[in-house]
Structure 1
């Protein structure tokens, strides 16, 4: 039998351990609460801004945009879906038609286009502190806003999210050369990426491998002139992304995924019309990979994932795709962005591209 002193010591030790455990639990609860509060604040701001954008659509449709009412109504419906997604978990009355600092609703189609572009930038500004789930949504909404702005005639640059600590971006622009660190530092062993981030990067790389292959088919069938030049520009953009992700993975201590020996196209491609459809398909499918990369990463890489999502969404529209309201986000049937999945015939991967 243990002596009273020994029993007391063990009992006190157990109580102390329980206190430490409770302390850790309380700390975890506080962290979760802080994260939930941060997401809630972001959602409230985003909903208020979206209400202001909806008010602008209503003003323009009722006035100078009456002649484009059908197009504007379609875009407005997308914005309404943005609001519903952003408002999840918030009280029904959250938001107002004119949040502080928003000013009067847009008075012209050009002003509405500018408002869409500004809204796209505002969603990116909240990326860094958002939870993975909310970051995916913010990036998707921003890409949709940018596509709306382009459809309304505003092709100005969407300001990137503020710089944050993390890996350098692999490219400065869709058509520019990749700018990730080009060679590993041989004097120090690189730090490996966290598993979810490495997995998402590998998926993005696999998608870009397939996109490069697909654009090889596209370019061969487009007629000489502006369309072929557009095809070449898209091909170069995907090569730059592919090369940037490869370097980023290698510098993070991860062996980059290699291209598959071959890829099966999602449908027969025989002429220029089919080639344009294939380009639209490739870009639409890529949105899913970049939504996932945005959610899985942090800092500068998260911002770059959102930029890649925006760029591929804009190219999808350019090639004639009808983007869903939330590009890249799973639809009711589970497909990314509402696009069909691409089966594999065993010669390539079932990656989200041709």
Structure 2
């Protein structure tokens, strides 16, 4: 038998490389298929829960003495849009979710409907870790919308999602009520050495830096807002929102620094999207700031993983609730581009300029 030549070894080496590449490709294909199957299961559960919520709206709207019929119909339209987005890519008649994903009898009152909205908001957050980036972004947006619906219907109980622990030094806030509560990450304690995160992937770090930059601009903007609000409840709301954005800014700075990334500094100043000259335009600026932030935090949800993704979803919910509190017309899917390609809830003439 002739001895192997150098060319033979080279050919065998090339073949081995092909085999390794093929195995790697097969592994990636299996991971992609598993991710698709996971997303499909998440979507099926979410659609089933949304169908139950729509049935609750129908029951309450058809009930006797529905004094909030116009409001209920508007909120139901949002929920119908949630279903359309969640059902994307599923067959026309998707398989039913398991009973554990469960549905209850349709709500019989506005109070029960509000509680159902809150429970639905919590359920959407439970699937954040399992979902792909795009689906996680959608789930967080739907959850924020459901939380805003619950508040509009009178349910301001805290959202307590069974998700990963907060990525920030302090516990996550509820983000309910008027939406101006202290956000997660507002605690002053330093992050323990053992809890410090490793460096974020480039996409996550870039999105977190973008969120920090947006909070720098929000703090500046609320400084202007507060100067024009009359003394009393409205000024107190402005101060609370200002403090909430300072806390978020500080939390993102700590997290970036702990991960070995230099936090971006604030700009010397920011150009306002329009002139603020009285309390009315100050409120409009506050609504504009919060609406723009929904898109920033939706992007952070998609770019992040684990506890940071959960924290980004909480930030999206908080800023959506504050946007409503300041009079913004929140879209059905806050933070996601509208069908005409414009920024969420903002006219083209009022584009961000910070």
Same fold, judged at TM 0.5 (above) = yes
Q: Which residue of 1 aligns with 2:121?
A: 120
Q: Distance in 2 between matches of 1:110 and 1:336?
A: 33
Shift of 1:88: 0.7
Q: Distance in 1 between matches of 2:86 and 2:205?
A: 28
Question: Alpha carbons of 1:65 and 1:96: their partners in 2 closer, same or farther (altered >3 Å)?
Answer: farther
SS at match of 1:29: helix
Q: Distance in 1 between matches of 2:254 and 2:342?
A: 29
Moved more, 118-127 or 88-97: 88-97
Q: Does 1:102 align with 2:103?
A: yes
Q: Which residue of 1 aligns with 2:34?
A: 34
Using the size of structure 1 for normalisation, the TM-score is 0.89
Shift of 1:255: 1.0
CA contact (8 A) 1:288 1:327 kept: yes
SS at match of 1:261: coil
Shift of 1:221: 1.1
SS at match of 1:5: coil
Question: Alpha carbons of 1:171 and 1:268: their partners in 2 closer, same or farther (altered >3 Å)?
Answer: farther
Using the size of structure 2 for normalisation, the TM-score is 0.89
Q: Which residue of 2 aligns with 1:151?
A: 152
Shift of 1:338: 3.3
Q: Gaps (5+ residues) in structure 1?
A: 345-349
Q: Does 1:129 align with 2:136?
A: no
Q: Distance in 1 between matches of 2:122 and 2:221?
A: 31
CA contact (8 A) 1:181 1:247 kept: no
**What root-mean-square deviation, in Å, do the aligned CA atoms of Structure 1 and Structure 2 show?**
2.5
SS at match of 1:89: coil
CA contact (8 A) 2:294 2:319 kept: yes
Moved more, 3-12 or 246-255: 3-12
What is the number of equivalent residue pairs in this alignment?
342
Q: Which residue of 1 aligns with 2:178?
A: none
Q: Which residue of 1 aligns with 2:295?
A: 288
Shift of 1:288: 0.6
Any residues of structure 2 matched to 1:1-354 within 5 Å, and which? 5-6=4-5, 8-64=8-64, 66-94=66-94, 101-163=102-164, 167-168=167-168, 172-173=172-173, 174-175=181-182, 178-179=186-187, 182=190, 191-340=198-347, 350-351=353-354
Shift of 1:327: 0.3
Q: Distance in 2 between matches of 1:68 and 1:343?
A: 33
Question: Alpha carbons of 1:232 and 1:69: their partners in 2 closer, same or farther (altered >3 Å)?
Answer: same
Question: Alpha carbons of 1:222 and 1:257: their partners in 2 closer, same or farther (altered >3 Å)?
Answer: same
Q: Gaps (5+ residues) in structure 2?
A: 174-180
Shift of 1:12: 3.6
Question: Alpha carbons of 1:97 and 1:125: their partners in 2 closer, same or farther (altered >3 Å)?
Answer: closer
Shift of 1:154: 0.5
Q: Distance in 1 between matches of 2:169 and 2:341?
A: 29
SS at match of 1:326: coil
Q: Distance in 2 between matches of 1:95 and 1:57?
A: 23
